[in-house]
Structure 1
């Protein structure tokens, strides 16, 4: 069995999609449709930078989605070749676009809004996120609880058995950096992000997404989605709509999602548009086969394989 998976924020790089666009009219059409939907030249920003502007949440989110969908469409591989789709945080929107729950333009507009709403939810400098390396979910929760001291500090991403991300008020997250070392985490690293994603502080962004999602056409996906906050397969549009709202403040249960897909029989994970999730998958399910699809060579190899 096979799952198509889609990366989240942090996978953006200057030059992303440029070679695909130069080699394929299909890729160019994807980037042109996203540019038209957003009313901006995102493709040029992706190709040429600057990285600071590309990394802005409102740009990075639709850019990463566009790059993933371009890689999928250039491959010509039908989503029906997958038994499940899944994405990490914003990658869930890429997965739903791939599975025809909503169209490309809708995905782009939703992610632009999602990025803007997440940034606006907390004043710059008041929130932070940190990666705890060598810490499992239980230890990360213990560290976050000890660091909170009345502030918000909670687990944002359970990525794999050795990497968990916490999020919340900057003062609490900074306390967590010290507590993590005392409690045995190998490293604790403050992440270069501008807001405390996937924490209760994102509640205003969740309400903005609830309103936005209520107004868009959302179909049942062609392939079941393993949802971030449920770590379980969902196939009904209304349930997906609800979970996308919950995802804004909820924990990304990536480790559990991969474990559940593997338990369901998935032994091949294909990551479109990045090489970020593949290593996580291998740390979660070492025996799994992982294919990362970014370049034309990757696409050629995938087509031969599938």
Structure 2
């Protein structure tokens, strides 16, 4: 069966994530220790014990989610002799998950990935003063309808589609006043629900340009190798292998839209029969079922998941 490995984004974090993996497998503990050392921060303690509001801070959530994904990957490799290049045709990740995907595929070292995501989280947080930006989920409108709502609500401010997650699930991002207008307008246009999201900044919109500039500089200072399998990139929803092209796409991703619906459809079109979600939560598996019902899903985030997945290979 042709597989793609997918890696979750912000919102999948939870206090206690990775704890069972660390307790069960030395390989997982090694990953958490490497990340702690790279950041000069006891991130694994925060992941294990909380508090939740500190873990949810963008600069902590991003490297923490990557750490859990990479711990699960390292366990597959050490416990099951698993090699990504032999068992998967593609990798993809949702927003920050794209960095986890690239770490899994060997483009970045684990330490570089942790530092890049710390920088990314801090830069995204600083890009827009708290309270000036917002994001909203629009459910029940198709992508073109939701995009039209964003354009109509902008009125000279920034308001754009940030995540095209699944049919009828689009996230808008921009200045708070414009997003507030978009919520009202979406309801008028027949959305089942339109609601503000509890986020600290307006991700994946033009207001994030200062963060994109910061990432261009940070990415310019790290060594990047070609991934062992192609990455399906967020901003193009198509496969890429060239490190320089990946670098550009990661910068564009900060202000660009996460084309997740199209990415999963692309994978289905390439004959992928199973999406394996590696890390915390099952958000991407849920979205996949709505995008391409024919694709099987599997999760690798706990010791039981690891055992079941390796048995099924």
**TM-score category by the smaller chain?**
over 0.9
State the distance in 1 between where 2:283 and 2:83 align: 22
State the distance in 2 between where 1:135 and 1:67 align: 33
State the shift of 1:20 in Å: 0.7
Match of 2:153 in 1: 147
Deviations 1:115-161 (A, max 9, x none): 00000000000000001111221011111011111110000000000
Matches within 5 A, 1:235-254: 235-254=241-260
State the distance in 2 between where 1:133 and 1:186 align: 6
Match of 2:43 in 1: 42
Matches within 5 A, 1:138-217: 138-217=144-223
SS in 2 for 1:12: coil
State the shift of 1:88 in Å: 0.2
Match of 2:27 in 1: 26
- With normalisation by structure 1, the TM-score equals 0.99
State the distance in 2 between where 1:166 and 1:293 align: 30
State the distance in 2 between where 1:90 and 1:69 align: 13
Deviations 1:3-29 (A, max 9, x none): 000000000000011111011100000
Match of 1:276 in 2: 283
Q: Which runs of 5+ in 1 are unaligned?
A: none
Match of 2:62 in 1: 61
State the distance in 2 between where 1:166 and 1:45 align: 30
Q: Which runs of 5+ in 2 are unaligned?
A: none
SS in 2 for 1:290: strand
Matches within 5 A, 1:97-112: 97-112=103-118
2:139 is aligned, of 125, 133, 136, to 133
Q: Would you say 1:293 and 2:294 are equivalent positions?
A: no
State the distance in 2 between where 1:255 and 1:281 align: 8
SS in 2 for 1:219: coil
State the distance in 2 between where 1:135 and 1:259 align: 18
State the distance in 2 between where 1:226 and 1:166 align: 22
Deviations 1:14-69 (A, max 9, x none): 00111110111000000000000000000000000000000000000000000011
State the distance in 2 between where 1:189 and 1:47 align: 30
Match of 1:71 in 2: 72
Q: Size of the alignment, in residue pairs?
A: 306
SS in 1 for 2:299: strand
Deviations 1:224-258 (A, max 9, x none): 00000010000000000000000000000000010
Deviations 1:260-293 (A, max 9, x none): 1110110100000131100101100011100011
State the distance in 2 between where 1:293 and 1:186 align: 32
SS in 1 for 2:249: helix
Deviations 1:177-208 (A, max 9, x none): 11111001100111110100000000000000
State the distance in 2 between where 1:296 and 1:79 align: 19
State the shift of 1:2 in Å: 0.7
State the distance in 2 between where 1:239 and 1:136 align: 30
State the distance in 2 between where 1:202 and 1:193 align: 14
